[in-house]
Chain A
Amino acid sequence: MGWLKTGSSKPSAGLKGVLREVLSYKSAIAGIVILLFLIGLSVYTMVTIPLPEAIQAWRSSEAWSRNPRNAQPEWIELFYGRRLPRTIKVSLGETKASEVLREDGTLSVSWVIHFNYDYDDFPSEIIVFFNSSYVEKPVVEIYWIRPDGDEILLKKHSLRRPDDRLYLSNDLGLELKLERLFESKIGKKPNFTVTVEKGLFSEYSQDPRVLKGVYGMRLEATLSKNDVLNAELVVYGTVHGLAGTDHLRRPLIIGLLWGAPIAMSFGLTTALLTTSLGLIIGTISGWYGGKIDSVIQRIVEINAVLPFLPILILLTTFYRIDLFIILLSVVVLSIFSLGIKGTRILVMQIKSYPYIEAAQAYGASNMRLILFYVIPKILPPVVPGMISSVPGFVFLEAGLSYLGLGDPFLPTWGKIISDAQTNGAFYKGMYYWVLEPAFMLILTAIAFALIGMALERIVNPKLKEL
């Protein structure tokens, strides 16, 4: 144990010296850069999306109704080499309506809205959201105007409630109608299932081919005098934002961003608590010896054979699980780890050093000896160990979330993976859903591991030569 040698071995000359030495390792620089990135990300997240807002948004499904479901991140295009559809939202409010007053005092109103569709793939879903107030339920006729000029009556719909929604994609009647339209246009059955999206956006051809150009939708309704009708057409894309969305249309970016501060603070806090408490217990054990030592050693040995994960699972099923409870349980279960034995032996060694005896001779108390003479000596090898243990705790939290034992409210990386798993992400080819949080987890782990390893080499010169 080279670092333990008093005097002759070089002590870390302050924080500055350590930092300078750390920076002489390229891997450590990489680790620090990643860590700084993650910290920057966390700060940015916490400032721009305050936690209560994030939790609220993450839990409500309504907030995300205009997002596509299970959409891939936008940059996935780079791999496909095609322009994938973004979500297009067009509202009636933006267009002028033409009104005709009837004799019976009702208004016959008609709107036309237009949008350009220029993607290489079909949209994932089409919904019309209504927002109206009326005396008597109005009937709305919806026409689709294709770039080639064809106009199709999509539906004659009587509003069921003021904020009714028309899920065009799910409309089997419409689907059949479109299929017949295709049959008549090309003279035979097309080679594909004419879904609503394909029926509306494909050329009339044997195989589905996106018809690019300006589409229109015309709405015609008969309203009473004071009725108000507004509607929004949402043509959902297949890609969304930087990170895509999940099965509840939630943008994964929020979970990925918030996952960083949560994972890091959980990992760091648990590592810090378990290491420092373990250090104190080990020091007491080694310093005082005797009965205290025996008791602590027995606890450590019992703790070593106790199954950690099952107990944790048991605990989390009994109590209301939140991150704090998980943290506490992990800490309690980890402090009596085998690491204490190592600390204890180091302390016993240090206790026999001449400089301790010298301090006893000038009257230093046990407390002073432990705090100022022993702990600073054993800290150097403990700190890199602590840093290196962070990824373990980050993965533990992710693992618990994955098992459904995590905090149910917080958006964490483990939760995202768990959601992906239950929704068969891999099976359905939605790799991004798993790979993104996994990437973040690994990035975090690598950052801490690289820094920890460099520190380890600095305090333990024997490793330097490797």
Chain B
Amino acid sequence: MNSEGRLLELEDLRKWFEIRRGFLSSKVNYVKAVDGVTFRLDEGMAMSLVGESGSGKTTLGKTIIRLYEPNGGRIIFQDRDVTHLKANDLKWYRRMTGLVQQDPFGAFASHFTIFRSLEEPLLIHNTVKSKEERAEKVFKALEEVRLTPVEDFAYKYPHMLSGGQLQRVAIARAIILEPRLLVADEPVSMLDASVRIEILTLLRRLQERLRLGVIYITHDLATTRFFSEWALIMYAGHVMEKAFTQEILRNPLHPYTRALLTATPEPNPENRNRFKQVPPGEPPALIDPPKSCRFSPRCPHAFDKCFKEEPPEFEAASGHWVKCWLYERS
């Protein structure tokens, strides 16, 4: 089918949003939300996409599943260029990809029962013809996400379920068409700390069993560890660092990644006695980001070059890429 189980490849992907200043003005500005992203994801692998809000994670995720059309670069899915698919081909691509959103409470039409919500994708793609088969699929999907007994949940309305339960339904909906790639956009950030692990574990099991490619978007580095093979750190529309998750956590190279690691809270009573060493300030506006390293205004290690030129991605160790002048090989 495809070479070496390769599922998804992004080549210098860009998504810029047009902003028109004023009513009549023809001057157009761009929000460079995703500005040159390159990576590869193999079948059955999960990649964490980590960064602060506004760094372009959601935009990247939506561009990958083609809710947005890219302004530049290419998306290759199963060796097929899907960058600018239209009509029926796009519909095929929609079936091959799934989305789990951040807000479980907003992710469902409140006038649909859970059953109907899950049945919709099947109706749209007409993959199974008979009503009985559809019901069977819906129930099976509910079982997959452990909402059992399924009859207890199928005929409820979304408001009758808790956030965690709804997020399971969202996962069930995302896999019901048997996609190959799943984008999970901060699937647990709105849930209680105590249910987050449960949902992530569920997602991980499904991924392994169905050999799904998963892009797990999060701002919480601590959860990437047991739930993804790869991690990719984003800042202001750029990929700052990418490597195996374990590698990044053990050996963070980019100053931004290090800051994120330091800032992540951990339960430890000693914490109250010390201040966290984190860079102050906030991410830049993406309409007019720094021309050089986008982290330079906040970076504690910045030197002259950082304010002049944008660093390329350096392979600091095998399979470990960093976009930072500190790792330029002299």
Interface size of B as a range: 20 to 34
On whether the beta carbons of B110 and A362 are closer than 8 Å, the reply is: no
On whether the beta carbons of A7 and B108 are closer than 8 Å, the reply is: yes
On whether the beta carbons of B109 and A6 are closer than 8 Å, the reply is: yes
Which chain A residues lie closer than 8 Å to B166 at the CB level?
A: 7
Which residues 1-35 in A have Cβ within 8 Å of B in the complex?
Answer: 6-11, 13
Is B307 positioned at the interface, with any CB of A under 8 Å from its CB? no
A372 to B117, CA, bound (A): 11
On whether the beta carbons of A13 and B157 are closer than 8 Å, the reply is: yes
Is A376 positioned at the interface, with any CB of B under 8 Å from its CB? yes
Which chain B residues lie closer than 8 Å to A11 at the CB level?
A: 110-111, 157, 159
On whether the beta carbons of A362 and B109 are closer than 8 Å, the reply is: no
* Chain B, residue nearest A368 (CB): B124
Segment among A46-54, A305-313, A351-359 that sits at the interface with chain B: A351-359
Other-chain contact of B121, A355, A362, A376 (Cβ < 8 Å): A362
On whether the beta carbons of B124 and A7 are closer than 8 Å, the reply is: no
On whether the beta carbons of B106 and A363 are closer than 8 Å, the reply is: no
A150 to B166, CA, bound (A): 99
* Chain B, residue nearest A360 (CB): B67
Known contacts A6-B106, A10-B159, A377-B109, A364 near B120 by CB under 8 Å: yes
Which residues 118-150 in B have Cβ within 8 Å of A in the complex?
Answer: 120-121, 124-125
Known contacts A13-B157, A362-B124, A364-B120, A6 near B97 by CB under 8 Å: no
On whether the beta carbons of B101 and A358 are closer than 8 Å, the reply is: yes
Which chain A residues lie closer than 8 Å to B316 at the CB level?
A: none
A368 to B104, CA, bound (A): 22
The minimal Cβ–Cβ distance linking B16 to chain A, given in whole angstroms, is 20
Known contacts A6-B106, A355-B107, A373-B109, A362 near B157 by CB under 8 Å: no
Is A361 positioned at the interface, with any CB of B under 8 Å from its CB? yes
On whether the beta carbons of B105 and A7 are closer than 8 Å, the reply is: yes
Is B188 positioned at the interface, with any CB of A under 8 Å from its CB? no
A8 to B107, CA, bound (A): 11
* Chain A, residue nearest B159 (CB): A7
Other-chain contact of A361, B67, B104, B157 (Cβ < 8 Å): B67
* Chain A, residue nearest B105 (CB): A7
On whether the beta carbons of A363 and B125 are closer than 8 Å, the reply is: yes
A355 to B67, CA, bound (A): 13
Which chain B residues lie closer than 8 Å to A10 at the CB level?
A: 159
A8 to B158, CA, bound (A): 8
Interface size of A as a range: 20 to 34
A303 to B190, CA, bound (A): 46
Known contacts A7-B158, A9-B159, A362 near B101 by CB under 8 Å: no
On whether the beta carbons of B107 and A363 are closer than 8 Å, the reply is: no
Which residues 358-389 in A have Cβ within 8 Å of B in the complex?
Answer: 358-365, 368, 372-373, 376-377
On whether the beta carbons of B94 and A363 are closer than 8 Å, the reply is: yes
Is B255 positioned at the interface, with any CB of A under 8 Å from its CB? no
The minimal Cβ–Cβ distance linking A226 to chain B, given in whole angstroms, is 83
* Chain A, residue nearest B66 (CB): A361
A398 to B109, CA, bound (A): 42
On whether the beta carbons of A6 and B95 are closer than 8 Å, the reply is: no
Interface bits A184-204 vs B (CB < 8 Å: 1, else 0): 000000000000000000000
Q: Can you report 23 residue pairs joining A to B where beta carbons are below 8 Å apart? A: A6-B105, A6-B110, A7-B104, A7-B105, A7-B159, A11-B110, A11-B111, A13-B157, A353-B106, A354-B103, A355-B107, A358-B99, A358-B107, A358-B108, A361-B94, A362-B99, A362-B173, A363-B95, A363-B121, A363-B124, A364-B124, A373-B109, A376-B109
Interface on A for B, CB 8 Å cutoff?
6-11, 13, 353-355, 357-365, 368, 372-373, 376-377
Smallest CB-CB A-B distances: 6 pairs = A7-B105, A363-B94, A354-B106, A361-B99, A362-B121, A11-B110
A13-B157, A359-B109 known; 14 other A-B pairs, CB under 8 Å? A6-B109, A7-B104, A8-B105, A10-B159, A11-B159, A357-B67, A358-B99, A362-B98, A362-B121, A363-B95, A363-B121, A364-B124, A368-B124, A372-B109
Interface on B for A, CB 8 Å cutoff?
65, 67, 91, 94-95, 97-99, 101-111, 120-121, 124-125, 157-159, 166, 170, 173-174, 177
